[in-house]
C-alpha cells in the first residue's frame, strides 16, 4: 500500500519487482485490498500484452494514513 501512496499508479510487474514477492502472493494481497475498496485497478493491453495497473482509492489513502498515525501513537507512547 505504501508504494501506491507515493505513486499515482503502478502496474503488477513493477509492484512485484519492488516488493520481491511471487505473483500469487501479490495477487492475494491486492485482492484483499480490492475487497476493502482500498485499491482500484485498470486492465488494458500494452503491445498486445495484458497490463493491470493499480492505484490507491481515497478510502485506501485515508485508511493507510490512519494506520500510520496509529503506529506513530503507539511508538510515541512506548518511550
Boundaries of every domain in the chain: 2-77
- Cβ burial 3-20 (10 Å sphere, 16+ → b, else e): ebeeeeebbbeebbeeee
Beta carbons of 72 and 50 less than 8 angstroms apart = no
Question: Which residues of the chain fall short of a pLDDT of 50?
Answer: none
Would you state the pLDDT for residue 29?
97
pTM here is 0.85
Q: Percentage of residues in the chain with pLDDT exceeding 90?
A: 95
Considering only the top CATH level, what class is 2-77?
mainly alpha
Amino acid at each position: 500500500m505504501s508504494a501506491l501512496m507515493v505513486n499515482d499508479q503502478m502496474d503488477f510487474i513493477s509492484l512485484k519487482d519492488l516488493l520481491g514477492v511471487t505473483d500469487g502472493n501479490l495477487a492475494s494481497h491486492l485482492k484483499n485490498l480490492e475487497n476493502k475498496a482500498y485499491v482500484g485497478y485498470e486492465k488494458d493491453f500494452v503491445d498486445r500484452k495484458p497490463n493491470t495497473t493499480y492505484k490507491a482509492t481515497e478510502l485506501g489513502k485515508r485508511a493507510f494514513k490512519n494506520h500510520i498515525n496509529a503506529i506513530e501513537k503507539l511508538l510515541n507512547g512506548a518511550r
